[in-house]
Amino acid sequence: MIGRLRIGFWITCLVIAAEFVSCSAQAERTSVSEAEQTIAVADSLLQAGQVCSDSIRLSAAVRCLRPWRFIRPTSYAKACFYYGRLLRLHDHYAEAMPQLLAARHARTDDHELLGRVYSNLAYICRLEGSYPLAYDMYECSAAQFLLVPDTLRYLTACVNMAYALAEQADTAGVTAILNGDNLSATGFPLVAAMRSETFAEAYMRAGDYNKALRYTYSLRRAYAKTPSVQMIRAQCFSYLGQYDSATCYAERVLQSTNHLFLRANALYILTQQDSTADLTDVRAAAAERAVTLRLIADNQGELSRAVELLQQDLQQSVAPVCLWAGGLCIIGLLVVVALWIIQRYHRHSVRQIEVMQQQFMAHRQQVKLEVMQNIAALQHSANWRQTLCWKDYDQLCAVLNKQFYLLADKLQAAAALNEKEVRLCVLVLMDCFDSRQMADILYYGESGIRNFKQHTANKLGTNSRQLREHLMKMIIGELE
């Protein structure tokens, strides 16, 4: 009874656990589905030129997809990008940067998305004043848009690269980019307008104010009214000493934009004038400029932290590459050293083998010569029959050569020859007897000795004519 209760208890626990896992998986699937819906809404708004402003759902989508970032890298990258873009638009640059960096590191093959990510990173660097870093990010953005391909965004990224150089007064670099084949012959009015504005910015930074003004006046009327172009004109006229024109364009900037940097520059131009007909309250302009500068300082702290995060991320990205490169160099060096050692050892081994082979060959020749000399001496001996007795086999082998002992052992072990067959082989090897004499020694008939000799040769894998040569090779080969 107690055993049944235990079984029922464990079955109940398993059912509850399975239900819990099923509910958790269902809830997780539901949350992932909701995250995908949020991303789909953000995609549709982006195509319409709008921004998904639901920060709660975007942050929830990022948290939900973070565990799935290796399985659904594109969805995770989009969630991070949209959330980071929204934070950037709200001037939360330090909070936006980690989201953009997460989208940058996602293993997605959506090049258009990566191009937008790099564009946002470059924009933050540009606001902070880190123009070399902004140039690098715009260059990465152009490379991604080139893979899509998206010609308009690619050309826009190239113009932004030139603008980053323009902020550094690098007119040669700006001219090299903007006069390239891709930008000089573009059919996009927006790109052409950005190109002229970038030229104006570059020459203004370089101090050629008249040439900068000529580029601003070359723009179409719709593009010439933008606050950034009006600001270039106001600054150029201010540097040229034409204060009335500078004041006019500065006031237009104040009326047409809420951009902090543009307003600060416009107010600075207005407050520098002693007395003009259009400026009624210099103190009010100065107070507004002070408020704007405080806001800029607050944003500058956010921007500095954001750019610092980007620089740290780039350094961490370079460090593993350097480590891998150093590791590969060390491994390559070790492989080269190992191959050198193996080659030297191989050469030494080959030389040793060659020396041993030469020694073996010399020894074999010496053994063969010794055997032949003993046999020749026996053949020319007049009393060899009285000196040797076949019954004293050990004495016979000792007189001939010690190799006969080895031959007899090998014949009995390898070819399974009996004693008479071994004796026949010894007599053949001595080459001192004809068939009749062999028959007398072995107690065979003269006609049967030939058959016996052929039978023995067959056992050794040869014929009766080559039996002596075969036996000589066996003697010499015993040393191998």
Structure tokens at 440: 């007398």
Structure tokens at 20: 């819990």
H or E, element range at 4: helix 2-47
Average pLDDT of span 252-273: 78
Question: Within 13 Å, how many C-alpha atoms sit on residue 38's CB side?
Answer: 28
- Model pLDDT, residue 288: 64
- Model pLDDT, residue 30: 58
pLDDT tens per residue across span 282-313: 556 666 666 665 665 666 677 788 888 888 88
Other CB atoms within a 10 A radius of the CB of residue 143 amount to 15
Task: Name the residue with higher pLDDT: 319 or 461.
Answer: 461
Q: Round to whole Å and give the CA distance between 142 and 151.
A: 10
- Model pLDDT, residue 17: 58
Residue 77 sits at φ, ψ, to 5 deg, of: -65, -40
Are 188 and 156 within 8 A, CB to CB?
Answer: no
- Model pLDDT, residue 137: 92
**Directed axis angle between helix 111-128 and helix 93-105, to 10°?**
150
Amino acid at 129: G
Q: What is the DSSP letter of 226?
A: S
The mean pLDDT value of the chain amounts to: 76
Are 78 and 42 within 8 A, CB to CB?
Answer: yes
Task: Name the residue with higher pLDDT: 366 or 194.
Answer: 194
Least reliable range by pLDDT among 73-82, 86-95, 184-193: 184-193
Percentage of residues in the chain having pLDDT higher than 90: 6
- Model pLDDT, residue 24: 44
Other CB atoms within a 10 A radius of the CB of residue 284 amount to 13
Q: Round to whole Å and give the CA distance between 37 and 65.
A: 12
Task: Name the residue with higher pLDDT: 29 or 426.
Answer: 426
Q: How confident is the model at residue 277 (pLDDT cuts 50, 70, 90)?
A: very low
Q: Round to whole Å and give the CA distance between 169 and 208.
A: 10
Are 392 and 435 within 8 A, CB to CB?
Answer: no
pLDDT tens per residue across span 2-27: 555 556 666 666 656 555 444 444 44
- Model pLDDT, residue 115: 92
Q: How confident is the model at residue 117 (pLDDT cuts 50, 70, 90)?
A: very high
Alpha helices in 415-466 (DSSP H): 419-430, 435-442, 446-459
- Model pLDDT, residue 25: 42
- Model pLDDT, residue 114: 92
Q: What is the DSSP letter of 272?
A: T
Against a cut of 0.85, is the pTM above it?
no
pLDDT tens per residue across span 360-409: 677 666 766 666 666 666 555 544 444 444 555 555 555 555 556 666 66
Residue with tokens 């937008």: 116
283 SS3 class: helix
Q: How confident is the model at residue 242 (pLDDT cuts 50, 70, 90)?
A: confident
Least reliable range by pLDDT among 226-235, 422-431, 446-455: 422-431
Are 86 and 49 within 8 A, CB to CB?
Answer: no
- Model pLDDT, residue 153: 83
Q: How far is CA 248 from CA 116, 216, 245, in A?
A: 36, 16, 5
Structure tokens at 355: 């020396």
Q: How far is CA 222 from CA 117, 189, 204, in A?
A: 29, 11, 21
Of 262, 283, 259, the residue nearest 271 (C-alpha): 283
The contacts of residue 159 (CB under 8 Å, 6+ apart) are 177, 178, 183, 191, 194, 195, 198
Are 424 and 460 within 8 A, CB to CB?
Answer: no
pLDDT tens per residue across span 148-172: 877 878 888 888 888 888 888 788 8
Amino acid at 208: D
Q: How confident is the model at residue 78 (pLDDT cuts 50, 70, 90)?
A: very high
